């Protein structure tokens, strides 16, 4: 350990440069070991064995790596999801794990709302088709195009981000359904939405469905072929949550081609960057049948300049509290 330092904190990787901001939050008694890699195979055992805590962004943590972390008092992920972290291996090693849920709520909610409004108003489709109009102009209004207060939005998952989306939807007059069995009775009254007791009810009644739930045993593939078939004909789907919620691109393509699904906006995919698939090829090539009906953003709904700073500060604060008090806030115990 470097002279004058009391702790060693490892940082596998993050999106933005060197960990200077983390160093400021963690303090002068912390030595930072910056691995600068998402490849877990490159993490040397002797470096891992020195760590009092580890911060992770995009790297995977599997049993082999975890077995070398004999000194580690906790692992903290910069983001919210933890599909790449082997929680069972951490638990077996006696190492607690925490994510970082208290950042980016506003950004994801804004991103989802922008997608909802733009697809509902058919803005991208109007834009794509207007480029080819050689006669007339206003006569090319796309139909159907209902008023906001004549449409129903179904929010799947009414936690932090889902609640922020509900609050943003209200001024536009949408009728709002919410499905979240984890929320207590009366939550819908406090927030202001109609509770759907069953997911199938929400899917069948909603003109727009927006996903704000984690990917777990209950929700993975929630909009597979069967889930998409349960949607109201002509519905819109927005996913700013986890790619695994809509992992069947074949089924998504069928639903879009048939018109059963009017449009979709996706910020997260199972594979990123996305590989080859006929639906993605049609999207990349701006094929006419899909024009303005599929919007894909590169998993950056969470991002703003302010959120990036907040994310790094909050994760570092979590580690600092752990080192000072032995308490790990935002601890994740769910093993699903």
The residues that are catalytic are 242, 272, 299
**Residue entry with tokens 């983001």:** 79
**Residue entry with tokens 């996903």:** 211
What DSSP assignment string belongs to 291-333? TTTEEE--S-TT--HHHHHHHHHHHHHHHHHHHHHS--TTB--
Chain CA centroid to CA 206, Å: 21
Q: Are residues 230 and 203 in contact, defined by beta-carbon separation less than 8 angstroms?
A: yes
What are residue 280's phi and psi, to 5 degrees?
A: -70, -35
Beta carbons within 10 angstroms of residue 133's beta carbon = 10
What are residue 314's phi and psi, to 5 degrees?
A: -65, -40
Nearest to 242 by CA among 97, 87, 110, 83: 83
Q: Are residues 267 and 211 in contact, defined by beta-carbon separation less than 8 angstroms?
A: no
* CA-only gyration radius of the chain, Å: 22
**Residue 148 C-beta-side C-alpha neighbours within 13 Å:** 14
> CA-to-CA distance for 130 and 191, rounded, in angstroms?
39
């Amino acid at each position: 350990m470097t002279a004058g330092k009391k702790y060693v904190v490892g940082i596998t990787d993050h999106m933005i440069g060197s960990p200077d901001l983390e160093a400021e939050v963690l303090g002068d008694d912390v030595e930072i070991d910056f691995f600068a890699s998402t490849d877990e195979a490159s993490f040397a055992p002797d470096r891992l064995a020195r760590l009092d805590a580890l911060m992770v962004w995009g790297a995977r943590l599997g049993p082999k790596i975890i077995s070398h972390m004999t000194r580690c008092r906790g692992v903290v992920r910069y983001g919210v999801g933890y599909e790449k972290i082997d929680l069972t291996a951490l638990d077996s090693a006696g190492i607690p794990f925490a994510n970082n849920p208290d950042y980016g709520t506003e950004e994801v909610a804004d991103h989802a709302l922008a997608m909802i409004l733009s697809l509902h108003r058919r803005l991208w489709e109007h834009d794509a088709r207007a480029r080819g109009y050689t006669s007339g102009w206003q006569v090319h209004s796309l139909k159907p195009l209902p008023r906001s207060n004549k449409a129903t939005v179904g929010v799947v998952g009414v936690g932090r981000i889902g609640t922020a989306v509900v609050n943003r939807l209200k001024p536009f007059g949408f009728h709002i359904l919410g499905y979240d069995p984890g929320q207590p009775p009366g939550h819908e009254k406090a927030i202001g939405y109609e509770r759907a007791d069953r997911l199938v009810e929400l899917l069948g009644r909603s003109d727009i469905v927006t996903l704000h739930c984690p990917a777990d045993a209950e929700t993975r593939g929630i909009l597979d072929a069967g889930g998409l078939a349960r949607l109201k004909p002509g519905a819109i789907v927005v996913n700013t949550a986890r790619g695994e919620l809509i992992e069947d691109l074949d089924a998504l393509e069928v639903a879009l081609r048939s018109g059963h699904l009017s449009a979709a906006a996706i910020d997260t995919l199972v594979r990123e960057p996305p590989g080859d698939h006929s639906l993605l090829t049609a999207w990349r090539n701006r094929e006419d049948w899909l024009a303005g009906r599929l919007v894909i953003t590169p998993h950056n709904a969470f991002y703003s300049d302010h959120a990036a700073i907040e994310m790094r500060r909050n994760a570092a604060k979590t580690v600092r509290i752990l080192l000072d008090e032995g308490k790990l806030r935002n601890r994740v115990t769910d093993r699903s």
